[in-house]
Amino acid sequence: MGLEHNQQNAPRFRRLRQNSSIRSLIQEKTLSVSDLIWPIFVIEGQNEAIDIPTMPGVQRLTIDKAIEAAKFAKKMGIPALCIFPCVDVKLKSEMCEEAWNTNNLSNRAVAAIKSAVPDILIMTDIALDPYNINGHDGIVKNGIILNDQTVEALVKMAIAQAKSGADILGPSDMMDGRIGSIRTALESSGYYDVIILSYSAKYASAFYGPFRDAVGASNLLIGDKRTYQADPSNSDEALRLVARDLAEGADMVMIKPGMPYLDVCRRVKDTFLVPTFAYQVSGEYGMLMAAFNCGMLEEESAMLESLLSFKRAGCDGVLTYFAPKLAKILNER
Among 92, 202, 225, 311, which one carries the catalytic annotation? 202
Cis peptide bond prior to 257, omega within 30° of 0? yes
Give the closest residue to 86 by CA, choosing from 109, 115, 70, 67. Answer: 109
Distance CA 283, CA 55 (A): 8
Three-state DSSP class for 111? helix
Cα–Cα distances (Å) from 309 to 30, 40, 109, in that order, read: 10, 23, 32
Domains of the chain listed by start with CATH number: 33-332 (3.20.20.70)
Residue 190 contacts residue 218 (beta carbons within 8 Å): no
Residue 114 is a catalytic residue: no
What is the reported pLDDT for 228? 97
Kindly give, in sequence order, each residue whose CB lies less than 8 Å from that of residue 317, ignoring residues fewer than 6 positions away. 34, 35, 36, 37, 275, 277
Give the closest residue to 277 by CA, choosing from 256, 306, 246. Answer: 256
Among 225, 256, 269, 311, which one carries the catalytic annotation? 256
Residue 150 contacts residue 176 (beta carbons within 8 Å): no
243-299, pLDDT tens digit by residue?
999 999 999 999 999 999 999 999 999 999 999 999 999 999 999 999 999 999 999
Residue 75 is a catalytic residue: no
Phi and psi at 252, nearest 5°, equal -140, 160
Phi and psi at 122, nearest 5°, equal -115, 125
Kindly give, in sequence order, each residue whose CB lies less than 8 Å from that of residue 274, ignoring residues fewer than 6 positions away. 242, 246, 252, 253
Q: What is the pLDDT along the chain (333 residues), one digit of tens a residue?
A: 455 555 667 888 988 899 988 888 888 889 999 999 999 999 999 999 999 999 999 999 999 999 999 999 999 999 999 999 999 999 999 999 999 999 999 999 999 999 999 999 999 999 999 999 999 999 999 999 999 999 999 999 999 999 999 999 999 999 999 999 999 999 999 999 999 999 999 999 999 988 888 887 778 888 899 999 999 999 999 999 999 999 999 999 999 999 999 999 999 999 999 999 999 999 999 999 999 999 999 999 999 999 999 999 999 999 999 999 999 999 998
DSSP-derived letter for residue 231 is P
Q: What does the DSSP assignment read for 243-295?
A: HHHHHHT-SEEEEESSGGGHHHHHHHHHHH-S-EEEEE-HHHHHHHHHHHHTT
What is the reported pLDDT for 7? 63
